[in-house]
Amino acid sequence: MHKINLSIKNYREIQRKSLELALAYNETLEGWSAALDLRDRETEGHTLRVTEMAVTLGRKFNLNDEELVEIRRGSLLHDIGKIGIPDNILLKPGPLSEEEWKIMKTHPQIAYRLLSPIRYLKNSLDIPHYHHEKWDGSGYPYGLKEKEIPLAARIFSIADVYDAITSDRPYRKKMQAKEALDYIKSQSGSHFDPEVVNKFIELLNT
């Protein structure tokens, strides 16, 4: 009986340590994402907002808890590759030149190189790596199209764009909710997966 009680105690201690470690990892990811928002001069809270929106949208696809956790982690790190983009390009106030755009468009591949060696994040790479791909194949970095693009990235891209266009930026005013939704609808079948657009509309109407 003593051995059974000891085993239960050890099991609970392992569970507690695992939970503490997971929380520490998640807090670290949130810290990284906040730092990236500041460097990129994003609207404050952008990453946390799009993360919560992407996870909520993921539930519309009946994703399991593990898949939703990976969407959360990938969303928090979606632009981590920009850490490898020079400040004179990332923070340039005016339009980028063709050569500067080529460099900017490497940030998803930089993200993959940064994150892929981390075993904890091996299932969270789809969003940082593919969220700039477009349904019609006109995105980057690989020109993937339709369901060649992982579902997590297709889900996240709508959340990312919607938050961006409904937030004030130094170079433009935000769109109102109806105008922003009309824009998302107009990009169905070109930028966005039509099925994800439909689920997104359902989400906003709930």
Which residues on neighbouring strands pair with residue 188, listed in sequence order? 192
How far apart CA 199 and CA 188 sit, in angstroms, is 12
Please check whether residue 111 is in contact with residue 80, taking contact to mean a CB–CB distance below 8 angstroms: yes
How far apart CA 167 and CA 165 sit, in angstroms, is 6
- Inform me whether the pLDDT recorded for 18 exceeds 90: no
The owner of tokens 């199209």 is 145
Q: What does pLDDT average to over the chain?
A: 86
Higher pLDDT, 145 or 171: 145
> What confidence tens digit (pLDDT) does each residue in 93-139 have?
778 999 999 999 999 999 999 899 988 888 999 999 999 999 999 99
